[in-house]
């Protein structure tokens, strides 16, 4: 699991639970009807907003993002330099036999091997990148909408609780506990929004930015291979995607190839 995500989840939930325990009895913060209103209402509104397939993909993507490591841009640059070297020695057609787990990189290699011109390559890759961004935007928007709905349903639950509390005015001794229960749904909604849904949406957005950069590395590397197929040219163009302090010299990357 991503270390930053693990630390964030543990520290966020841990501090809130610790504050509750130190401040009083834990069981005062459990209310089944309140959970039903907030969780059920949030999911219902989300399913009304999006297609079921999009909601399912959002939760799958969230699991994937939190459980899989990021791809190092330096490794991608090294890969593109290797591809440039291979195509320079054996010809562009040799890229058809390249084995990779990246569908995007495989498509790039196929287009180059099929003798696609530079304009065709640029158009196909740009469309691929833009389509990926749109798909990821929908996934992020699912969690952004859930972060918006959860506090709203929490407030709705509080209003329901207040209405029920007003029916107890004849029994003043019951007003305190009833008020506490009424406020719990607002607590649940705010907790889900700020600790769960918004951080997940933010993490998904940061991963999208990183993935777009990786796609741009592949895209620009492929264009360089088509233009002059010079490993030095490929390196000089792609090294700009990596901070200067983290760039590896071309000679070192060639030795690791």
> What mean pLDDT comes out for the span 155-159?
90
Per-residue buried b or exposed e for 172-198, using 16+ beta carbons within 10 Å of the residue's own CB: eeeeeebeebbbbbbbbbebbbebbbb
Higher pLDDT, 180 or 257: 180
Question: According to DSSP H, which parts of the chain are helical?
Answer: 3-23, 32-35, 41-49, 52-67, 73-90, 103-113, 118-166, 175-191, 198-227, 231-238, 250-256
- Residues 103-130 have a mean pLDDT of 86
Question: pTM to 2 decimals?
Answer: 0.82
Q: pLDDT category, 256, cuts 50, 70, 90?
A: low
Decide if 188 contacts 87 (C-beta within 8 A).
Answer: no
Q: Taking residues 68-91, what's their average pLDDT?
A: 82
Over 60: is that where the pLDDT of 64 sits? yes
Q: Check residue 247 and give its pLDDT.
A: 72
Query: With bands split at pLDDT 50, 70 and 90, how would you rate the model's confidence at 193?
Result: very high
Q: What is the pLDDT of residues 198-210, one digit of tens each?
A: 999 998 998 899 8
Asked if residue 26 has pLDDT above 80, the reply is no
Torsion sign, CA atoms 225, 228, 232, 237: negative
Q: Mean pLDDT, to the nearest integer, of 123-135?
A: 90
């Amino acid at each position: 699991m991503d270390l930053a995500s693990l630390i964030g989840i543990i520290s966020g939930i841990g501090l809130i639970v610790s504050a509750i325990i130190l401040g009083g009895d834990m069981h005062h913060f459990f209310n089944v009807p309140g959970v039903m209103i907030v969780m059920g209402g949030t999911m219902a509104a989300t399913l009304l907003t999006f297609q079921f397939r999009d909601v399912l993909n959002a939760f799958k993507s969230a699991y994937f993002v939190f459980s899989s490591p990021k791809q190092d841009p330096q490794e991608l640059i090294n890969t593109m330099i290797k591809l440039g070297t291979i195509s320079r020695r054996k010809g562009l057609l040799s890229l058809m036999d390249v084995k990779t787990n990246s569908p995007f990189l495989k498509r790039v290699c196929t287009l180059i091997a099929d003798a696609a011109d530079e304009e065709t390559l640029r158009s196909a890759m740009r469309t691929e990148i833009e389509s990926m961004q749109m798909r990821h935007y929908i996934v992020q928007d699912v969690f952004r909408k859930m972060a918006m709905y959860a506090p709203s349903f929490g407030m709705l639950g509080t209003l329901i609780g207040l209405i029920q509390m007003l029916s107890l005015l004849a029994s003043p001794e019951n007003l305190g506990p009833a008020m506490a229960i009424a406020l719990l749904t607002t607590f649940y909604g705010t907790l889900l929004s700020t600790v769960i849904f918004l951080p997940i949406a933010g993490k998904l957005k940061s991963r999208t930015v990183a993935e777009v950069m990786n796609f741009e590395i592949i895209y620009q590397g492929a264009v360089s291979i088509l233009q002059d197929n010079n490993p030095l040219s490929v390196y000089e163009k792609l090294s700009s995607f990596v901070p200067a302090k983290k760039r590896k010299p071309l000679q070192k990357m060639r030795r690791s190839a």
